[in-house]
Amino acid sequence: MELWMIAPLAALASIVVAAYLFVYVNKQDSGTAKMREIARAIQEGANAFLKREFLYLTVFVAVVATVLTIFLPNGPIMGVAYIFGSICSGLAGYFGMIVALKANVRSANAAKEGLNKAFPIAFRGGAVMGLSVVGLALLGISVVYYLTGDPGIVLGFSFGASAWALFAKAGGGIYTKTADVGADLVGKVEMNIPEDDPRNPAVIADNVGDNVGDVAGMGADLFDSYVASIVAVMILAVGLAPGISSFDNPFVNLPLIFAGLGILASILGVAIVRVGKKGNPGKALNWGTYITCGIFIVMTLFVTLYLQQDIETWAQSSLESSLHPFQVWGALVVGLVAGVVIGITTDYFTSIDRAPAIRTAEASQTGAAINIITGFSYGLVSMFPPLLGIGIASGVAYGLAGVYGVGIAAVGMLSIVGMIVAGDAYGPIVDNAKGIAEQSGLEEEVIDIADRLDAAGNTAKAITKGFAIGAAGLTVLALLAAFQEISGATGFDLMNPLVLTGALIGIAMPPLFSALVMLGVGKNAFTMIEEIRRQFREIPGLKEGKEGVKPDYATCVDIATKGALKELILPSVLSIVVTLVVGFVGGIEALGGYLGGSIFSGLIFALLMANAGGLWDNAKKYIEAGAFGGKGSDPHKAAVVGDTVGDPFKDTAGPSLNTMITVMSLVASVFAPLIVMYALL
Amino acid sequence: MELWMIAPLAALASIVVAAYLFVYVNKQDSGTAKMREIARAIQEGANAFLKREFLYLTVFVAVVATVLTIFLPNGPIMGVAYIFGSICSGLAGYFGMIVALKANVRSANAAKEGLNKAFPIAFRGGAVMGLSVVGLALLGISVVYYLTGDPGIVLGFSFGASAWALFAKAGGGIYTKTADVGADLVGKVEMNIPEDDPRNPAVIADNVGDNVGDVAGMGADLFDSYVASIVAVMILAVGLAPGISSFDNPFVNLPLIFAGLGILASILGVAIVRVGKKGNPGKALNWGTYITCGIFIVMTLFVTLYLQQDIETWAQSSLESSLHPFQVWGALVVGLVAGVVIGITTDYFTSIDRAPAIRTAEASQTGAAINIITGFSYGLVSMFPPLLGIGIASGVAYGLAGVYGVGIAAVGMLSIVGMIVAGDAYGPIVDNAKGIAEQSGLEEEVIDIADRLDAAGNTAKAITKGFAIGAAGLTVLALLAAFQEISGATGFDLMNPLVLTGALIGIAMPPLFSALVMLGVGKNAFTMIEEIRRQFREIPGLKEGKEGVKPDYATCVDIATKGALKELILPSVLSIVVTLVVGFVGGIEALGGYLGGSIFSGLIFALLMANAGGLWDNAKKYIEAGAFGGKGSDPHKAAVVGDTVGDPFKDTAGPSLNTMITVMSLVASVFAPLIVMYALL
């Protein structure tokens, strides 16, 4: 048996464990009738969105698959791989949502019996998502690879996953912030009713948004990076030993083996995470990550030792004849360590108890404008450590094992994605749990527990975002190398005018994309606000909370759904079309520059927006905890403005950029053979 | 006589005309005793700042000159050239300030007799600055070149001018916004007294700020780009015909000739600009620019025809043997046209009567946060046209005449800087004039005229900023080529890990720089606000405006001065030191990547900040003109928050970035010979 078969086996194991955890979550008590009713409303809203989104996406997938089939050399197979990638990515998101929508209410109910009862339900709910993502991703790759033996076809699978992720992330991001901003501005600010109050017509849409944006969106995002990193390395590996069948090339198989081991480590990590009655759920999540990393490093070390002889033999017959197995392993570890370090620095810049958040809170005393300037400035500073980290990691990985090493570093960073997504999906689950607890009027202590679970979710989320951006950064660099490999370009020299012009256009794309989705949020929020105001005005007894009077949740859900789907089309299509235009007009070199430029500015804005957004959020929370006048004071109002600006930054525009630059890189690689033949210049 | 002597002669002519205009401005009536008193206070404040700034700078210049003298191969001459560059840049700024501080009060006084009397005083005041900048710059270059015959030494002159500009721009920018934000937040928001009210203790500091930030700062900025573009082309020209004396190489002399013609065109343009009694001063300024461009294009066409034979002969013996004279001229025109187009698109994104500003004003109805998001989003979109413009211009210029063409395009864009600076310096002069008119209680009609003059200044300023960024963009690209030429690198391939790691560090630098200066503004504004509040609290009768009660202006001026100088040191020194560290550790390739990365992100943030800032300003003005509830309404308050965020964006951080990336490029080129020898990797 080939050792790379560890990949599909681990993937299957992952899916089995996910199914087991799903059953576990499902059989928990879903609480009172009131709680079940709220949970059902959220579920229905989420289903409504997903249904419509899937409809749109099916059309999109069909169109792209047809284009691929007609135009590409090996068109029909690429088309099928593309569709398969979309389906796997969609399924992972769908499973994650289903379980999240069950775990939220069950976790809220279990909070009645204490933190240590509620935590595992929420975390295992998240783990279903995490393990589904890596399981379906790696299984999908393995199947395509097994059937075709051609990493070039796996690229089609990756493109399918990415294009789907772009829609899911951008659409979900616009949805969630439309609902959030609308609910907050009318509810909290104008009507002065608390967050998650059942009188607010947008409250269900807001809860739905947490799921479609943070669960399904983030899952699709990491699914996409995970697949792309593996396929990029496989393609680079083919270049290392040209003329040799992929199955016989251990460099092609290594990323699959490492990814398989990463899944096993994640399963162990998930099993280990637990928290005591008085425990700290945030710490438990972080320890889970560290332990997973440790297990992964040890496992890969043993496998590298085991494969040492093979790799050495093989290195002899490849272009990297001097490559020692431990150099590959070193690149893997460098990537993983860089991911963790980037996560930790992100944590510093966004944590509630660190200087940046505290100073931003302090600046709120001189008004909203200074709060914005201060938070924005720290956001700008915060990109230095991760960019340096990505720079050093890619440099060291290259030094160890060439461009192949850069790809392996990305795989290393992404290997523990199962665990990372588990911690991340935990966030919206407990956020929802808190909402359900409040809307169904549970006791103070229960809400308090829900609050503590939620706070841990926010920290985990900040780290995950930094991690996701770092991983996307290394992945797109590996993809750029893969693009060079496929297109046969000798390099992308900045002094070449085509590369330079391409780069100048490329750097303008991520900002354009961000702007379009944020303007989309603004436009939709406007409609949403009008609707919420209308309901408060026209439904008698709503504002007073009269018994039996209920707002019309469905209309708000519908506005968010339609608006999000409408607004995501232009930016998503643009990022594909402009890439093709640059390629077919300017040729491979212009396209390489374009990709390089978009990677640079994509990283910049992703980091800036994620970190500044998280920072503003926590500066507000710092004031709410009693500093500088506390809740309701002028500094608090100023900090709320910052938080509202940060919302679309961190939950809509910022995180979509990872996916956007991956999609652009994949489009370039998939169409490279055509561009080489037909480019204008 | 050599034809390039047209450069020093035109430069001298420029200085003579500037002196003549200075005399013209100076002999105008400076108004009532009250007006003279206010003008004197502004003058004293400005002098206090300049004195202290010059002191700091002298130390800095001495240190750097010593370093250059000790370490560089041709150290002593470079040190002298460096000092000379600093002096010329400083002198241009100083002259500009002196005349601006005279023109403001005289223009205010002339406004009593009508728009057509006040306009020429303000505009000619600005023209003194414009003509001093180009005159001193080109004269300085010519002298250094004449004495040494070595463009490499002219590089030292350019470095001196740039380092000075960095301090002047960053320091002036921090100063002006410290005073502005402080004066606005306490005066307008807390105390509810109008802008430019003499009771406000920070009002003089605010008026001083307009001069040290906008006049001296912008002058130094364009001085710096202007010199750098010319020297970059000279160095590239040396590479075209190696082994031939520079004086005999027409490619070295061409940029000097073109720059000299640009000065003559600017002098004519300045002479032509005038406005009728009911005229539109904004249109007059724009027409002045267009006419100057026209004259320049025609002049250069004739000179190209005249030189055709020479250039062709010379092209034969150079590495660009197929270069036709009209290809050079074409590159020149492409640059100029691109500059104008970038200015016009900037105008679209920031103008009060265009969709972006109106939509942003509209968004203010849903609060400050949505105003910020909308303005920021349009700012992100606004970078697309100029980046595309720079990309196409550099691509076409390269296609016409290689890297030499890219440099010539930059020279083309900057050739009319005399006129551009004249229009730009007009802005703060009339802004001050308006302030003086209000503080000295002139009649409504006079203030009205001052208002109209001021509005024209704002439009001119927006266009100039776009122009300055575009010019800086092309200039640093030319400098990157010059750096490659000097260092002997074969290229900067993004797939080279050193280049890539350098680029990732490079893209993080401009954001870091912006953040540090903005945080500096925040910190200083805090101190300033405390002081203003203290004065209103402790000086009896101040708030009520009791006869004879005056605030303590000097302390506010002092706070702004000390704070600005303290806060500019870290970012300025960092941008030099990190460049050297990257160079000496990573070597030439890492440094090339670093410069490329910093150019990309420098352009992005410069465009974003300048345009979003201008947009927020005009969205606020749109509401003040009566839309969406007008002055004092909730939307207006929301728009004021946006405007305050935009202030340090557009007047502090954004415009300093041009200078920062130029300084980094020049540091790299100056130290390239040492880096080649001693780099670690």
ipTM score assigned to the predicted complex: 0.91
Q: Is a pLDDT exceeding 50 seen at residue A1?
A: no
Cross-chain residue pair B391–A505, CB shorter than 8 Å: yes
Q: What is the pLDDT of residue A257?
A: 93
Cross-chain residue pair A381–B511, CB shorter than 8 Å: yes
Q: Is-contact B552 B539, C-beta < 8 A?
A: yes
Q: Which two tokens stand for residue B598?
A: 């910093």
Share of chain B above pLDDT 90, in %: 46
Interface test with B, best of A365, A376, A636 (most B CBs within 10 A): A376
| Helices A115-148 and A6-26: angle between axes, nearest 10 degrees | 150
Cross-chain residue pair A644–B189, CB shorter than 8 Å: no
Q: What is the pLDDT of residue B153?
A: 93
DSSP state of A213: I
Contacts of B380 in chain A (CB under 8 A): 511-512, 514-515
Contacts of A392 in chain B (CB under 8 A): 501
Q: Is a pLDDT exceeding 50 seen at residue B524?
A: yes
Q: What is the pLDDT of residue A197?
A: 82
Q: What is the pLDDT of residue B207?
A: 83
List, in sequence order, the alpha helices (H) in A539-633: 553-624
Contacts of A529 in chain B (CB under 8 A): 366
With an 8 Å Cβ cutoff, is B121 touching chain A? no
Q: What is the pLDDT of residue A260?
A: 95
Distance separating alpha carbons of residues B267 and B643, to the nearest angstrom: 36
- Mean pLDDT across the stretch A371-384? 94
Contacts of A377 in chain B (CB under 8 A): 514-516, 518-519, 522
Residues within 8 A of A (CB atoms), B 155-214 only: 181, 185, 189
Element at A294 (helix H, strand E): helix A281-316
Provide the b/e sequence for A373-387 (b: ≥16 CB within 10 Å): bbbbbbbbbbbbbbb
Nearest-neighbour CA in chain A from B27: distance (Å): 43
- Mean pLDDT across the stretch B241-266? 88
User: Is A554 exposed, middle or buried, given 0-12, 13-18 or 19+ CB atoms closer than 10 A?
Assistant: middle
B652, closest residue in chain A (CA to CA): A373
Nearest-neighbour CA in chain A from B506: distance (Å): 9
Contacts of A486 in chain B (CB under 8 A): none
Q: What is the pLDDT of residue B643?
A: 92
Cross-chain residue pair A373–B604, CB shorter than 8 Å: no
pLDDT, tens digit, 9 for 90 and up, residues A470-507 = 888 889 999 999 999 899 888 899 999 999 999 999 99
Greater model confidence, B499 or A319 = B499
Beta bridge partner(s), residue A493: B493
pLDDT, tens digit, 9 for 90 and up, residues B603-646 = 999 999 999 998 999 899 899 888 899 888 889 999 999 999 99
Distance separating alpha carbons of residues B368 and A190, to the nearest angstrom: 14
- Mean pLDDT across the stretch A136-148? 95
Closest C-alpha among B244, B159, B165 to residue B468: B165
Cross-chain residue pair A369–B511, CB shorter than 8 Å: no
Which one of A379, A492, A512 has the shortest CB-CB distance to B380?
A512
Distance separating alpha carbons of residues B404 and B321, to the nearest angstrom: 13
Q: What does chain A come to in residues?
A: 681
With an 8 Å Cβ cutoff, is B373 touching chain A? yes
Share of chain B above pLDDT 70, in %: 99
- Mean pLDDT across the stretch B487-493? 89
With an 8 Å Cβ cutoff, is A527 touching chain B? no
Contacts of B529 in chain A (CB under 8 A): 366
Q: What is the pLDDT of residue B321?
A: 64
SS3 content of chain A, % helix, strand, coil (to 5): 85, 0, 15
Contacts of A496 in chain B (CB under 8 A): 491
Q: Is-contact A641 B369, C-beta < 8 A?
A: yes
Average pLDDT over all residues of chain A: 89
Which one of B494, B521, B648 has the shortest CB-CB distance to A492?
B494
With an 8 Å Cβ cutoff, is B641 touching chain A? yes
Cross-chain residue pair A597–B600, CB shorter than 8 Å: yes
Q: Which two tokens stand for residue B324?
A: 């036709």
Cross-chain residue pair B601–A597, CB shorter than 8 Å: no
Q: Is a pLDDT exceeding 50 seen at residue B1?
A: no
Report residue B45's pLDDT band, with 50, 70 and 90 as the boundaries: confident
With an 8 Å Cβ cutoff, is A69 touching chain B? no
Cross-chain residue pair B504–A390, CB shorter than 8 Å: yes
A72: left (phi over 0), alpha (psi -120 to 50) or beta: beta
Q: What is the pLDDT of residue A320?
A: 66
Q: What is the C-alpha radius of gyration for chain A, rounded to an integer number of angstroms?
A: 24
Long-range contacts of B581-586 (CB under 8 A, 24+ apart): B582/B502, B582/B505, B582/B506, B583/B668, B583/B671, B583/B672, B583/B675, B583/B679, B584/B674, B584/B675, B584/B678, B584/B679, B584/B680, B585/B679, B585/B680, B585/B681, B586/B498, B586/B501, B586/B502, B586/B679, B586/B680, B586/B681
Distance separating alpha carbons of residues A73 and B621, to the nearest angstrom: 57
- Mean pLDDT across the stretch A36-49? 85
With an 8 Å Cβ cutoff, is B505 touching chain A? yes
Q: What is the pLDDT of residue A642?
A: 93
pLDDT, tens digit, 9 for 90 and up, residues A105-139 = 999 999 888 888 899 999 999 999 999 999 999 99
Report residue B155's pLDDT band, with 50, 70 and 90 as the boundaries: very high
Beta bridge partner(s), residue A280: none
Which one of A373, A394, A522 has the shortest CB-CB distance to B373?
A522
Which one of B392, B504, B512 has the shortest CB-CB distance to A381?
B512
Report residue B250's pLDDT band, with 50, 70 and 90 as the boundaries: confident
Contacts of A493 in chain B (CB under 8 A): 491-494
pTM assigned to the model:
0.92
Report residue B320's pLDDT band, with 50, 70 and 90 as the boundaries: low
pLDDT, tens digit, 9 for 90 and up, residues A402-437 = 889 999 999 998 998 999 889 888 888 998 898 888
Distance separating alpha carbons of residues B554 and B562, to the nearest angstrom: 12
- Mean pLDDT across the stretch A513-528? 91
Element at A261 (helix H, strand E): helix A250-272
Q: Which two tokens stand for residue A157?
A: 């699978």
The segment with the largest mean pLDDT, out of B14-28, B468-482, B544-558, is: B14-28
Contacts of B648 in chain A (CB under 8 A): 373
Q: What does chain B come to in residues?
A: 681
Interface test with B, best of A494, A527, A533 (most B CBs within 10 A): A494
With an 8 Å Cβ cutoff, is A488 touching chain B? no
Distance separating alpha carbons of residues B331 and B404, to the nearest angstrom: 9
Distance separating the N- and C-terminal Cα atoms of chain A: 49
With an 8 Å Cβ cutoff, is A574 touching chain B? no
With an 8 Å Cβ cutoff, is A526 touching chain B? yes
Task: Give the number of beta-carbon pairs within 8 Å between A and B.
Answer: 236
B502, closest residue in chain A (CA to CA): A391
User: Is A466 exposed, middle or buried, given 0-12, 13-18 or 19+ CB atoms closer than 10 A?
Assistant: buried
Cross-chain residue pair A373–B521, CB shorter than 8 Å: yes
Q: Is a pLDDT exceeding 90 seen at residue B158?
A: yes
Cα atoms found within 13 Å of the Cα of residue B296, Cβ hemisphere only: 35
Contacts of B514 in chain A (CB under 8 A): 377, 380
Q: Is a pLDDT exceeding 80 seen at residue B18?
A: yes
Q: What is the pLDDT of residue A342?
A: 86
Q: What is the C-alpha radius of gyration for chain B, rounded to an integer number of angstroms?
A: 24
